[in-house]
A and B are shown apart, each in its own frame.
Chain A
């Protein structure tokens, strides 16, 4: 039973990640290989707020979100001048730089040793968030909130403008929209929402190290979003469910762990290729990437 709760918490964390990524990839067609970097920045900033400043839950979470959003501007401003492959490359470069800094700036991040003993955050000075059940509640509330906000964002004038940029950038410019500003806003919002997942992960596992936020994780996140589907609310949720439950399904079949890990990856890879060929909008999405 506890194990199922643990899985639900992980799914909630990944729903937040994939939904935020969908904002960039599915609404604006900005393919990013730097999502794990923002996830990691969010996690490390949360730890900073909780362990150094000793802040309670809500200020710490807001601090992580705001900080990650601000840092994302560093890469958003320059990279948005680039198109296609070059944009992906810029986000990939950012991902590798962030990882190297987290890994090697040992005096601040403790590098490869990681940060153990992250305290459980306090809510309203009274409730201590610790144990599976409280994390289940917290992560579910946050995941539902993110999905809810995202649903409204898609249908808001802002979301419509973003989809306009995605589908026909030139026309949006002709209509007098500031396309660059829209893209930067989408970038910053997506990054600060990913920070929520970083916060949950750091406090739930109570240990972080840079290897959770490397390029492989970025590729994994991007595959999850693309396999699940782009452009609507359902797609990312399906993606998150699949990537968390598929390994369990493989374990259920009774494959040894060593093979199961590789087999799982092969299934993701195959899914990416087949989906790109036959169903580029993903399993449950509405937008086919271009």
Chain B
């Protein structure tokens, strides 16, 4: 039986300044299907869904959007909603202080001259929830619900709008096993009711359990839309990545040189209130040309350790730090830079970039001295520096004056890298260098890091991405609850081993 096509997106092309987010994407969905949309971070999934749900006005992209064969133009989310398209975001958009029923009918409360008829509101809410097989008191405040139930309230909200197409963005990210099972039951039920469900997820197992068809996006292009039965997990992953995983990580050609950095018996105390030790008796060394990985789970003290080495942490550490065998006492980032350190922080938006400043200004920020004389800036020198970094790191931007906020995640990260490489560091500390970066930029960044190490820079790479840590590091330290609990050479590394130490099994 051939199902009828409900939705067609044809030749969708969307550009942000300097970056093609979507390139000639053709996407379609049928009646009564669950259509999974997969792809790495930055592949363009959310951009495509924002177009579909009217977040991006139709005047900001090229291409056509057809519903039931008729071309539609959405200028705002409300237009999409009226056409029957509702998106359920990863972060739920419910109002905690309002009741379940109020949330379901928000903006559409049954009323007469502004007076709400609560009896019908509650009854209708109850009915909708019954369809979803949920038993909750519709008078209850949403803040008292668990995440699973909140999600169902969102779905109920969509049903109350008579929507025909439902987009779910990573709906299971915060759910428990049993909540996931229930959700899947609900989604299959909705499919029976001839709804179209677009399901965005990273989790292969779920995608294969649920979806009828799978579409893969990569670097803004639609790689394939295929029936689930013709696909395997491996095949989907390789389509997402577009290359064999192992080739992502460049191989070292150089033997480590002399010791650049040594940390002895280094501790970091917590605040008086918590009285918890953040880093305890850490010992660590770094040689020229070496990439040393630091792996740890959330709260292991990995970020605190490196940021206090750089003099950026709020509290002072206790212990000894040697740079080129000389004891040093680094009080603030300014001194750290003088000692040849550079620090690419974990969160580029929070403390890596000045978002409303241009690319050139961001790149020169840590080296204002080299582009100035006696405090007077030389714009030409600054622009030259920026041009050089843009070229060397192949940063995609429409110009050196473009605000950093307008770049994609990968290019933003490269700008931060460019800023620190401009200081010509001997020791480069990277905290989660590829978080929120698309696959293409990721492998470019890996190559940049490896080239730097090969040129004699010592690199400390903090990461919670296991393949990355294993693929890149010469040596790895594993942290657990503030302590360095293991040190491994590249040859001994396995994901299981690192995870066991990081979770404290061998503590």
Bound pair (A, B): no
